[in-house]
A and B are shown apart, each in its own frame.
Chain A
């Protein structure tokens, strides 16, 4: 739930950055060019929620959309597999306390990267490197299903419904932009041998959709920009 509050910060940070620093930050850790052929990537349970933005500006959770989005995103991930190339395997091990604790830690790592690597609060001693880790404890994730990497994916997607669209049109006439939908998310890839975050990307945009397979694929392509394949 802290993630929702995080989204508000992220949005504010992004809006601030829009004109100042654009895409100069490395999405890969130093020296990471690609993953070995046939590497197995554990897809951690997708942290995805879809909302309908109603006329009053309220975000209503949409279970049906969320279900579709998960299916579509997993399908789109599988679409990236090539014979002899990477394999994506959904995490199915028991979600015990260790897995939960690593998930919480990953969210804290993602927040740090968001703010200090891509965001406005640079840490000069990091010298611009994507240099973060979950620690060797991350190996515990591969206990039930042997894998080389873990992929964490976080996405919040709001879509304007009919009433909201009417409001937007009305406000636009009055010269106000109240916003349609939005997508906020991030994804990161963790080397399960060392715990190192080898790749991270974030996504903030005022459009996008994951309810249809094609649109979900486009969203995933955006989210996985410069993914080391």
Chain B
């Protein structure tokens, strides 16, 4: 019983003590890690997840099971897209210096596909990012937890040896098409301060 009690307590502590605190995004310019600046209109909510890596910020309109704008703002070489409890997860692929667009797409796919997945890249193309050259890739994914088919678009560039990537992902039914223009507007506003 003790063991069970302890497990329950831990579960409750985990659930109670750190409810993720979302803040509303204002129409003013938002500061993100790595010197990234974007302008978001009202409606977005923001979650800073510094324990995962100082470069991670997430935005959502309706909740993350439905839509997510994901910032990987200035991932340094040798680091994964997301750290777990401040550490590089075992076996996780990391960003490396000299990575090209297709390498970054592969890195992101590997990050999303841990444990096997139905990730399919639909398009990889050049795309301007933060006032310079960059790339965009689109993908389709079936989320295994609930079988929801998701679509995603990622925009990024490597600047000053760091990776900047903004990914929008939402269910194929309704949410992706409905919110993509708002996500694209955020991407379009991106600039990087040295």
B63 touches A116 (CB 8 A): yes
What A residues does B16 contact at CB under 8 A? 12, 15-16, 120
User: B59 → chain A, closest Cβ, in Å?
Assistant: 10
Does chain B have a CB within 8 A of A112? yes
Does chain A have a CB within 8 A of B45? yes
A104 touches B66 (CB 8 A): no
Given A104-B147, A125-B43, A12-B171 contact (CB < 8 Å): no
A135 touches B12 (CB 8 A): no
Of chain A, the residue at the smallest CB distance from B43 is A125
User: A186 → chain B, closest Cβ, in Å?
Assistant: 14
Does chain A have a CB within 8 A of B90? no
Inter-chain CA distance A137–B42, complex, in Å, is: 25
B66 touches A125 (CB 8 A): no
What B residues does A9 contact at CB under 8 A? 15
B146 touches A104 (CB 8 A): yes
Interface string of A1-45 (1 = CB under 8 A from B): 011010001001101100000000000000000000000000000
Interface hits, B60-86 → A, CB 8 Å: 60-66
What A residues does B25 contact at CB under 8 A? 125
Partner of A135, one of B1, B24, B61, B173: B173
What A residues does B24 contact at CB under 8 A? 124-125
Interface string of B141-166 (1 = CB under 8 A from A): 00001111100000000000000000
B145 touches A5 (CB 8 A): yes
A176 touches B1 (CB 8 A): yes
Does chain B have a CB within 8 A of A185? no
User: B171 → chain A, closest Cβ, in Å?
Assistant: 5
Partner of B65, one of A13, A111, A134: A111
Does chain A have a CB within 8 A of B174? yes
A12 touches B175 (CB 8 A): no
A124 touches B1 (CB 8 A): no
B23 touches A124 (CB 8 A): yes
What B residues does A108 contact at CB under 8 A? 65-66, 146, 148, 171
Residues of B within 8 A of A (CB): 1, 11-12, 14-16, 19-25, 42-45, 60-66, 145-149, 171-175, 178
Residues of A within 8 A of B (CB): 2-3, 5, 9, 12-13, 15-16, 100-102, 104-105, 107-109, 111-113, 115-116, 120-126, 132-137, 171, 176, 195
Ordered by A's residue number, 13 sampled pairs between the chains whose C-beta atoms are within 8 Å are A12-B16, A16-B12, A16-B15, A104-B146, A111-B65, A112-B65, A121-B22, A122-B22, A123-B63, A125-B43, A137-B173, A171-B1, A195-B174
The 6 closest A-B pairs by CB, nearest first: A135-B174, A112-B63, A120-B19, A12-B15, A124-B24, A16-B16
